[in-house]
Structure 1
């Protein structure tokens, strides 16, 4: 077999490299494959929020939807009315680490426009049967709602999320504020 002269080999090599880039899985610029997830209908009065995420430790939280105001809540066993008005925040929590992250509902705070922080409303959480604490396994994600009883006339500015300490951590992780407005 006879070798190609250098002047002929270089263009042939360039063509081969470009052709390989067009093959599935060979391009460095191609997006990775993604799961085809069924879409979820937006509930009445809910605003879809895009690009609203924060991370605390290995817990990545994305705000999916925001409902304000809700004047009452209906569950399978009760109807609840707030002292002010209910605010519902639909979130997706993803564990980006290799160990379990504990999502503790009571540590997730709503930051108001005047700087106050509010804890989730225990009665609304129970009536709507949302988790109090949830073990989010490695590479796992979960979607659910957080409910807050917000005083009338006070705006909601952000959701302050906090994950659980990672393995070997000696302190609580820093919280992350996710803007709602």
Structure 2
């Protein structure tokens, strides 16, 4: 990396004649600027934006998109990206079913930022209603809609999204999705000790309002 002293020497004027100094200083600056940029890049002092540009996804009918409902458990981020309430029926290719109250569908996005696989059990993710009651996913709706079945293994650097279906009372108002994640660490030292990622809160509530 070019040091401040080297930079000042590179742009030092070569003459003291009034009117010439400014022109030569400008030329020297133009000459050294590419070298400075190259040195900074080689030294890792600057990076371009490092975010994916994800194509826009079509919103399912009657679903409400959610923004900013993100939390991190261990090395995985969880985001509630959509919710639909008051669903009167779930319809699949082989069956349909009517809820006891109302179906609520929550779309969950997960991104694994670790070097190891992490597990998530869809059937342990609870829906929290405004009265504080919690509900586990409804098996009938999950099976008919072809939602994930069994523990899901999320690969290193993988991004995945799927729906969770709940059957809650007809007059219930949804409040949050309570996510129970995998707080394990990719660090060998943590794995040998059976330790979780530091300062990990688990479960966490993602607001749906």
> TM-score interval w.r.t. the shorter chain?
0.7 to 0.9
The answer to whether 1:73 aligns with 2:90 is yes
Partner of 2:77: 60
* Aligned equivalent of 2:178: 160
RMSD between aligned residues: 3.1
Give me the whole-angstrom Cα distance separating, in 1, the residues matched to 2:51 and 2:111: 18
Larger relative helix fraction: 2
Give the corresponding residue for 1:151: 169
1:103 corresponds to 2:120: yes
8 A contact 1:89–1:147 mirrored in 2: yes
Alignment of 1:127-138 (within 5 A): 127-132=144-149, 133-138=151-156
> In 2 relative to 1, CA 106–154 (structure 1 residues): closer, same or farther, beyond 3 Å?
same
> Partner residue of 1:7?
12
Work out the CA distance in 1 between the residues paired with 2:36 and 2:10.
Answer: 21
Residue segments in structure 2 that go unaligned for 5+ positions in a row: 1-8, 15-24, 186-190
C-alpha distance in 1 between matches for 2:76 and 2:45? 30
> Which TM-score applies when normalising by structure 2?
0.73
Match of 2:141 in 1: 124
Answer 1 or 2: higher relative contact order, Cα 8 Å, separation at least 6.
1
Summarize the Cα distance change of 1:86–1:16 in structure 2 as closer, same or farther, 3 Å threshold.
same
- Please give the TM-score of this superposition, normalised by the length of structure 1: 0.83
Distance 1:6 1:83, change over 3 A: closer
Distance 1:69 1:61 in 2: 24
1:35-93 deviations in whole A, cap 9, x for unaligned? Answer: x5433211110011111111222221111111111000101111011000000011111
- Say which structure is richer in strand: 1
Written as runs of structure 1 = structure 2, the 5 A alignment for 1:76-91 is: 76-91=93-108
Contact map agreement 1:53 1:178 (CA 8 A) in 2: yes
Larger radius of gyration: 2
Q: CA deviation at 1:100?
A: 1.1
Q: After the TM superposition, which parts of structure 1 deviate over 4 Å for at least 4 consecutive aligned residues?
A: 24-27, 170-173
Give 3-state SS (helix, strand or coil) of 1:7's partner: coil
- C-alpha change, 1:63 and 1:5, in structure 2 (3 Å) is closer
Structure 1 residues 128 and 19, CA gap change in structure 2 (3 angstroms): same
